Amino acid sequence: MAEDSPKRRKANFNEAETEVLIEQVLKHEQLLFAAGPGRASPGQKRKVWELIRHKVNPVAACPRDVEDLKKRWRDLKRRDRSKLCRLSQGCGPPGPPALGLLLASEELPPARRQRR
């Protein structure tokens, strides 16, 4: 009978979950996203994502799995790039990951602040 019930979506990420996710992904950014001969194996990346999951779940509104965290990270990067694009009005190459999320508009470089 459980198969017949409609699937309910999970709760939105709260601020604490998002902060922990950003902090942990940036801490392990080299392992997760490095390219070239020194990059981590898929098994190593899976272990890092599991570690991040264990850090996020204690502050989570509901249990998160690795795929939830990866999707949230992709969404944050996409949102950040579009925000930086709007700020620069040039849509050039994106800045460092999570720059817009970690810096308030007052903390942005003066060149970006003046063009807003």
Check residue 113 and give its pLDDT. 44
Check residue 114 and give its pLDDT. 47
User: What are the sequence ranges of the domains in the chain?
Assistant: 15-87
Instruction: Give how far Cα 29 sits from Cα of 36, 96, 98, 104, 108, Å.
Output: 14, 11, 11, 22, 22
Between 63 and 6, where is the model more confident? 63
The CA distance from 15 to 86, in Å, is 23
pTM over 0.75: no
Between 91 and 16, where is the model more confident? 16
